[in-house]
Amino acid sequence: MEMLDNTEGKRLGDSLRATLDDEAKLSIISAHVSLFAFGELREELERLDSVRVLFNEPTFISDMERLADVPEFDIARRAQCERERALADSDLELSLRNKLNQRALARACASWLREKVTLRSVRREHMFQNPPTYVIEGSGVSPHLLSGQGATFTLEGLGVERRPDTLTMITHYAGDEAKAQVAFLMAQFESVWADDALTCDVTEQVASKVEALHTDNAPEFIYFLTLYHIFRRFLQENQDHNPREDTGFFESVIWDKLYDFQKDAVIGAIRKLEKYNGCIIADSVGLGKTFEALAVIKYYQQLNKNVLVLCPKRLRENWTLWTQASDERNPLAKDRFAYKVLNHTDLSRRRGKSGDTDLEHLQWGTFDLLVIDESHNFRNRSATGASTNRYTRLMNEVIRANGRTKVLMLSATPINNRLADLRHQIELITEGRDDYLEKTDGITSIDSVMRLAQKRFNLWSSQAHGRHTTQSFAEYVNADYFRLLDALTIARSRKHVAKYYGAETGTFPTRLAPRNEQVPIDSRGELPPIGALYDMISDLTFAQYQLLSYVREDARPAYEADYREGFGNDFGSELHRTNAVAVLMRVNLLKRMESSVSAFRSTLGRVRSSCADILGRLAALDARENDDALACVDVGYGTEGLDDGLDDRDAEMFEVGAQIRVDLRDVDCEALSADLSGDIEILDELIGYARAVTPDRDAKLGALRTLIVEKTGAGHINPGNRKILVFSAFADTATYLYDQLAPDLLRTHGLTCAQVTGTRNRVTGKRRARGGFEDILGRFSPRSKETIALAQREGEIDIVVATDCISEGQNLQDCDCVVNYDVHWNPVRIVQRFGRVDRLGSTNKHIQMVTFWPDVDLESYIKLESRVKARMALGDASASGEENLLTPSEDMNDLEYRSDQLRALRSETLDLEDMRRGMSITDFALDDYRIELERYMNANPGVLEGAATGLHAVVSIPDDLRAQVSPGVVFCLQQRDGTHDANRAHAPLSLIYVPRDAMGAPTLSHPTCSLDLLRRLCEGHREPLEALCAQFDRATRDGEDMSEYTALLSQGVAAAIRQGEEATLESLFTPGAIAQGASSEADFSLVSFVVLL
């Protein structure tokens, strides 16, 4: 008896080579059989007359399909797949596979299997518990028996490759001492071998599998095999986080109303919420984020979870409708939604009412699921001292207070200039823990990842405009950032949905070229130019909105004490807030002037009234010095109704200002009176100009009326469709348009008009609106709103004039024309407005956007905006220690970004993700690939799981790609031991394109770029491309000479190592970052490759 341990001189492979005789018969018992083990003993094995192999664990059998009802089935099936894959996929056989000789070896092995080998497999697990064994016998042949744990028919089992931490003990019996052992074992072997109830013949299956290793492969199969290995861990983890089937959720109304792409987003969001306790849905405008969120809410409601929805104040009614179970306008009434809705700004209030909720007694920490609409509005303005802002209160009193509140965020898609905004949203999920993703995703420091990403983003942003592409962005930004996005976000664009879901989603309507209107405000031309009016506005002090700056030095200590525990950390921060309100008023007046002469005139009147009131109070105090009611004034006094048209962040300044009181007896009365009097003089002049422009002189109003008459008359965009949605940023303008147009349009053209501003909703005609704006919208778009009965009873509405209270979360696709009566500061809002009609499933073939631009050259307008922003920067006071409320450098960067958007919007209707100089996280989302893979696997069960690695396909380069892509190879490499590499988004996998041209350099792109290339090359090719395969076979002598491609593979591996080293070097200067890269070719395994000819 001899003991073998697979070390030098005592290897199983050497013993077999020495004992295998030409006349011998070989019987093998092993759970694993390797192609490369055959290659090691090929000469000896091909001389044998016959070989029998018994798989002592189920391998290559279809009986496993009958075990679907057994709880352990998934584990058993995975184990079987691993054994089948080991035919050419042992992790210790990397060097041989990386020589690309697998194809030639498979051809020889397949021939040997067909001629000399019979293979059978046991039908049940653990049925034949014998260690791997080799029996050599035959007439005139000395018997041998070699047996021991670890002696599988693989390179490791043969001792060719060895794990340093593994001890193998194999017993070798030979000659007479082996006879009894052989006789006993072979009796058992023959009994099991001959019993069809215990074993089955799998020779054909194994031979076919080996033949598949040398036959030509369909490019599409290789593409999906590559996807499978990239997302293999994801597929396994999904099983642990899938929604429960026993909740009734999948029978809900909301679930039935979703498109497949929306259902996939909901399932993905639930998985992330279960795994990470948070998820950011950032699907593009018009893809139905609100319905996706409602479905997630329904799932957790079925689990009896308490749900809070936080939304901007202007969008509140978008959410409250779904909770009205008895409202006929609610198509989801049967789902009985019961969540609470509060406004973002409610986090800044300690008392008062929000809807029917008393904020003073609200227990913020009782919610299990928090849904935040427009979560990108939350920024971490870190405060020192006792005060807290909205962000910190949300973190401390809502999220952290209930143990682990799950957080679902609905966010805008652009990355734009600051990655920090996304970081703050991520921190709402991680509760600020820097190592939150270390165990799940190998990200040791979120802070380090974000800092490095911002650094590289800044470098990318500094390039010339032509280099601002998705590809170049992916090359600049560290892949750990994309891994972070992939873990916590779901982001799909319209293009992705149309491409990957096809006909199931229907189609988007065709966008007609934008129509631009540029008319003067005053048809007589007597109103001064916009630049001159701005100069007058810029001279206003708006003293009544910054009363704190007039408080005398001797009175300041009392205010500092009062406000230390109020809304800011010191008096300086409160002073900064009030100055910011004054600056916003300047901006507000300018935008209202652009919007309509009526809004400008009414706002001027309000501002003047507040000036006069303060002056009057100052004068009256001389005689009534002890009148506290007369002396005490809110800083936000007189701002009522002026906050519409502002983003929540700016509107909050008005709301907070309304809670800060100043005693006029504490101010410098002389200075304040002088500034107020000076403002009144300027305001009176401005009001005089505005009053002169009556409706009959309002050229812009006349142009809108003409447009409406044309569109609803002979100029239909779609036959019979008279509907128009007119947006303004300001309620004053909406009211003006309604008052001036609605009665006449009804009388002369039979058009029913409505006004929707949130606070004021009106309808012309005999049947007036009796409900909120949902009643109006139900009559305006009854098909999309499923309110046809309401529209038939009350009458349809043709024209809606609205503010941005309905620019999000509304499906109004019965309409085919959106009019922007004014240009919002943020052009993204224009895209959001158009998204109300630019939606999947629209019954309209065409849609159009019309925009009224200020009567000034666009470049001059942009320069004017720059002047406004520069003036805003002067009001910034950063000494408070807070994040600057007015950030000049970022505003200037954003200005350039928005300027590009404005120029583009004049000539084309853009998606958010297409806006120039900004990147969208939809560009780097991998969800579509996962869904595509899951669908393929459902349609082809077991195909990918059992497939070997090292396979390849041959494709041609499409004509439209030849300018960017030259002949070469795309390799998918796997780094051994799952080593983490911060520079690859899906380490340990890398996709590397290596051109054959000696001048080309190997390229490691972000997975979305590489996978998109791979898809473009492979999609639709469900069969091998025979002519190209024949060309490849001739060049490589049927796989015998792979030297050229082995050299290309070496170049690709070297590029992966080099990139890992660069990431490691960079990480040395990033606190907390750790990058562990590969150091040699032996650290990589070839998963698949696609040859480009």
For residues 718 and 852, state if they share a domain. yes
d(CA 103, CA 251): 50
The pLDDT, as a whole number, for residue 726 is: 98
Looking at per-residue pLDDT, the higher value among 583 and 254 belongs to: 254
Sequence-separated (6 or more) residues with CB below 8 Å from residue 646 = 584, 588, 654
The pLDDT, as a whole number, for residue 372 is: 94
Residue 872 is assigned to a structural domain of this protein: no
Of 907, 910, 847, nearest to 511 by C-alpha is 847
Token pair 């499923």 in the structure block, residue: 786
| Stretch among 26-30, 735-739, 765-769, 830-834 having the lowest mean pLDDT | 765-769
Q: Dihedral sign, CA of 665, 667, 673, 678?
A: negative
The pLDDT, as a whole number, for residue 15 is: 93
Query: Are 738 and 801 within 8 A, CB to CB?
Result: yes
For residues 76 and 142, state if they share a domain. yes
What's the distance, CA 29 to chain centroid? 50
The domain boundary, picked from 215, 244, 262, lies at 215
For residues 1051 and 975, state if they share a domain. yes
Give me the number of domains the chain comprises. 5
Token pair 């929805």 in the structure block, residue: 309
CATH of the domain at 781: 3.40.50.300
Looking at per-residue pLDDT, the higher value among 566 and 50 belongs to: 50
- Pairing of the two strands 761-763 and 753-756: antiparallel
pTM of the entire predicted model: 0.73
| Stretch among 59-68, 612-621, 638-647, 861-870 having the lowest mean pLDDT | 59-68
d(CA 65, CA 192): 22
Residue 313 is assigned to a structural domain of this protein: yes
Looking at per-residue pLDDT, the higher value among 380 and 5 belongs to: 5
Domain range for 352 is 233-511
For residues 156 and 209, state if they share a domain. yes
What's the distance, CA 58 to chain centroid? 41
State both tokens at 301: 């409601």
The domain boundary, picked from 511, 533, 564, lies at 511
- For residue 53, the one-letter residue type is V
Query: Are 214 and 106 within 8 A, CB to CB?
Result: yes
The pLDDT, as a whole number, for residue 105 is: 86
Quote the Cα angle for 1046-1048-1050, to 5°: 70
For residues 635 and 541, state if they share a domain. yes
For residues 500 and 555, state if they share a domain. no
Query: Are 1082 and 985 within 8 A, CB to CB?
Result: no
The domain boundary, picked from 449, 483, 511, lies at 511
- Pairing of the two strands 724-727 and 632-634: unpaired
Whether residue 988 is preceded by a cis peptide bond, meaning omega within 30 degrees of 0, is yes
Query: Are 308 and 340 within 8 A, CB to CB?
Result: yes
Sequence-separated (6 or more) residues with CB below 8 Å from residue 183 = none
Q: How many secondary structure helices (H) and strands (E) does the chain include?
A: 41, 31
The pLDDT, as a whole number, for residue 1059 is: 63
Residue 904 is assigned to a structural domain of this protein: no
- Pairing of the two strands 25-29 and 133-137: antiparallel
Residue 746 is assigned to a structural domain of this protein: yes
Residue 1068 is assigned to a structural domain of this protein: yes
What's the distance, CA 888 to chain centroid? 29
pLDDT over threshold 90, residue 801: yes
d(CA 896, CA 866): 9
Per 3-state DSSP, the chain is made up of helix, strand and coil in percentages (nearest 5) of 50, 15, 35
What would the pLDDT profile of 410-443 be if each residue is shown by its tens digit? 986 544 455 666 788 888 899 889 999 988 888 8
- DSSP E strands in 976-1080: the ranges are 989-995, 1003-1004
pLDDT over threshold 60, residue 1025: yes
Size of the chain in residues: 1093
Burial 787-804 (b: 16+ CB within 10 A, else e): beebbeebebbbbbbbbb
CATH of the domain at 118: 3.30.870.10
Looking at per-residue pLDDT, the higher value among 652 and 369 belongs to: 369
For residues 393 and 471, state if they share a domain. yes
CATH of the domain at 414: 3.40.50.10810
Phi/psi-derived region of residue 562, left when phi > 0, alpha when psi is between -120 and 50, beta in every other case: alpha
d(CA 112, CA 208): 12
d(CA 92, CA 100): 15
Quote the Cα angle for 1051-221-991, to 5°: 25
pLDDT over threshold 70, residue 1003: no
Of 997, 948, 853, nearest to 102 by C-alpha is 948
State both tokens at 62: 């279809």
d(CA 648, CA 394): 16
Query: Are 544 and 638 within 8 A, CB to CB?
Result: yes
Looking at per-residue pLDDT, the higher value among 122 and 894 belongs to: 122
Sequence-separated (6 or more) residues with CB below 8 Å from residue 448 = 1067, 1070, 1071, 1072, 1073
d(CA 406, CA 249): 18
For residues 713 and 636, state if they share a domain. no
Residue 921 is assigned to a structural domain of this protein: no
d(CA 710, CA 720): 13
Residue 871 is assigned to a structural domain of this protein: no
3-state secondary structure of 571: helix
User: Cα dist. 433→383, 425, 592 in Å?
Assistant: 18, 13, 44
Mean pLDDT, rounded, for 978-1006: 62
Grade residue 55 by pLDDT with cuts at 50, 70 and 90: very high
d(CA 73, CA 182): 35
- Which DSSP string corresponds to 434-473? TTTTHHHH--S-HHHHHHHHHHHHHHHHTS-GGG-SHHHH
The pLDDT, as a whole number, for residue 410 is: 92
DSSP state of 550: G
pLDDT over threshold 80, residue 452: yes
Burial, 32: exposed, middle or buried (Cβ in 10 Å; 0-12, 13-18, 19+)?
buried
State both tokens at 15: 């013993």
Residue 987 is assigned to a structural domain of this protein: yes
Residue 999 CB neighbours (<10 A): 6
Grade residue 1069 by pLDDT with cuts at 50, 70 and 90: very low
What would the pLDDT profile of 172-181 be if each residue is shown by its tens digit? 999 989 999 9
Q: What are the two backbone dihedrals, phi and then psi, of residue 144, each rounded to the nearest 5 degrees?
A: -140, 145
3-state secondary structure of 960: helix
d(CA 203, CA 50): 13
Query: pLDDT averaged over the chain?
Result: 80
For residues 237 and 386, state if they share a domain. yes
d(CA 404, CA 36): 51
Mean pLDDT, rounded, for 1027-1033: 92
State both tokens at 257: 């109303």
Of 426, 486, 493, nearest to 283 by C-alpha is 493
What would the pLDDT profile of 607-622 be if each residue is shown by its tens digit? 999 999 999 989 888 7
pLDDT over threshold 90, residue 697: yes
d(CA 962, CA 289): 38
pLDDT over threshold 90, residue 258: yes
For residues 338 and 457, state if they share a domain. yes
The pLDDT, as a whole number, for residue 906 is: 67
The pLDDT, as a whole number, for residue 503 is: 63
pLDDT over threshold 60, residue 636: no
The pLDDT, as a whole number, for residue 1065 is: 42
Q: How far apart are the first and last CA of the chain?
A: 57
State both tokens at 852: 């009224």
The pLDDT, as a whole number, for residue 635 is: 57
For residues 586 and 721, state if they share a domain. no
- For residue 316, the one-letter residue type is R
pLDDT over threshold 60, residue 867: no
| Stretch among 160-169, 208-217, 383-392 having the lowest mean pLDDT | 383-392
| Stretch among 217-231, 520-534, 915-929, 945-959 having the lowest mean pLDDT | 915-929
- Pairing of the two strands 50-55 and 25-29: parallel
The pLDDT, as a whole number, for residue 964 is: 82
List, in sequence order, every residue forming a beta bridge with 1041; answer none if it has no partner. none
The pLDDT, as a whole number, for residue 980 is: 46
pLDDT over threshold 80, residue 761: yes
For residues 545 and 441, state if they share a domain. no
Sequence-separated (6 or more) residues with CB below 8 Å from residue 296 = 266, 269, 270, 273, 369, 371, 408
Of 910, 899, 1059, 925, nearest to 981 by C-alpha is 1059
d(CA 700, CA 710): 15
| Stretch among 273-282, 537-546, 651-660 having the lowest mean pLDDT | 651-660
